[in-house]
Amino acid sequence: MRLTRETALKKMLLSYGENYDVTPMEHGEHELAATCFFHSRSEKYVLTKKAQLWSAENHEYAYVFSLPHLDLAALQSVKELSCRLGMAEIHPNSEHMCSYISAIILCDTIDKEAEKSLKSCRIRKNFKLSLHGWMEFHIAAIALEKGGILSNRDGRRSAELLRQFQNEV
């Protein structure tokens, strides 16, 4: 039995829902299926919370896309939309450490040109010379017909999550 995109999406969102704030989306022109946000704050203080030594905020903004076929134009659209939406969510300040914008693509097939572009994608941004943190763009895709998983270098963690998800199914 071949896994369909709809079934894979439902199972993936259930998996993400354990730690992320998941918001399913209506299918639109960009095929954005869901957003999954994760926020973490760590701090160290002495005796009282007013005597704070340090604090650090980490965020991940994951955008899940469901496409029948991933070609170069669709990949470019996914990257642009993810970066635009993710950058709108990031609010750098002295306590911001890092934010990850992740694009997770569920598709049936992938073009060779799109594979090459996906693997070489690298987007990073520093805020005030990294004093107010940084942003990294992660992208990973799973081709359900072949069962192949691709990612850029920064998206290895996202690809590992997809592999775990694929093994569970």
pLDDT by residue for the chain (169 residues), tens only, comes to 467 888 888 888 888 888 999 999 876 656 899 999 999 999 888 888 888 888 899 999 999 999 999 999 999 999 999 999 999 999 999 889 999 999 999 999 999 999 999 999 999 999 988 889 999 999 999 998 888 899 999 988 888 888 877 776 6
What number of CA atoms fall less than 13 Å from residue 123's CA on the CB side? 20
* Total of domains in the chain: 1
Instruction: Give me the helix-helix angle, 5-16 and 156-168, nearest 10°.
Output: 110
Bridge partners (DSSP) listed for residue 58: 40, 98
Pairing of strands 124-126, 96-110: unpaired
pTM: 0.89
Phi, psi of 147, rounded to the nearest 5 degrees: 80, 10
The boundaries of the domain holding residue 80 are 5-168
Instruction: Give me the helix-helix angle, 112-120 and 72-89, nearest 10°.
Output: 30
